[in-house]
Amino acid sequence: MNNQNETTAPNKSNRRIRSIIAGLIIASVAGTGIAYASKHDGESCGKKEGKESKHEMYEKQNMLPLSSKVIDQLQLNDTQKVVLSEAQAATQTMRQEMRTNIHTAKEARKAALKSDTFDPRALFSQQDAMATQALAARQVVQKQWLTFWDGLTDQQKTVVSQYMQSKKESHKESRKHKDNS
C-alpha cells in the first residue's frame, strides 16, 4: 500500500507542474494579445477584445490587397505585371513560412510539456525570435510591394488609392451595421 502512495505522489506533483506550465503559457499568450491590443487599440474594424478578424490579418499580409477587378483597371504593362507577381509570390511564401514556424513552435511546446523539460524562458525566447523573424520577412515583402507601388503611374496610383479608400469606407459601414445589430 505504501508503494502505491509513493508512485502517486510524483504523478500529483507532475500534474501540478503541468498545470502551472499551462497557466504560464496561457498568461504569456494573453499578455502578448493584450500588448498587441493596447499597441493597436481600435485602429481597424473586426477587432474583438484585441483580436483582428481573419480578413484583417489577410489584408495586412497581402500588403496591398488588390482585387482582380482593380488589377484589370490598372492596365499594367509587362514590367508592372512581373513586379506585382513577384510581390504576390513573396507574400504567399511569407505566409506559408509563418504557418510552418507557428506549427513547429506549437509542436515543440507540446513536446516540452510532455517531457517535463518546459522552461518559460525558452518559450519567451522562442516567441521573441519568431516575432523578429516575422518582422524581417514582412519588411522584405513590404519592399517588394513598395517597388510595385513606385512603378505605377500617377493615374494608376489614384485608382489604387480610391480602391483602398472605398474598402476602408465599406469596412466602416459594415462595422457600424454590426454594432447596431
pLDDT tens profile 51-107: 445 545 444 445 677 888 999 999 999 999 999 999 999 999 999 999 998 999 888
Give one DSSP letter per residue of 40-96, joined into a string: TTT-STT-BTTB--HHHHHHHHHSS---HHHHHHHT--HHHHHHHHHHHHHHHHHHH
Rg (CA), the chain: 23
Residue 169 has pLDDT above 80, yes or no: yes
Residue burial 55-92, b: 16+ Cβ < 10 Å; e: rest: ebeebeebbbebeeebbeebebeeebeebbeebbebbe
- Domain of residue 21, residue span: 2-180
* Residue % of the chain over a pLDDT of 90: 37
pLDDT in tens, 129-140: 999 999 999 999
Domain count of the fold of the chain:
1
At residue 9, the pLDDT reads 55
At residue 152, the pLDDT reads 96
The whole-model pTM stands at 0.59
CA dist 60 and 26 (Å) reads 25
Residue 11 has pLDDT above 80, yes or no: no
Mean pLDDT highest for which of 10-24, 105-119, 155-169? 155-169
Helix axes 78-114, 2-39, angle to 10 degrees: 150
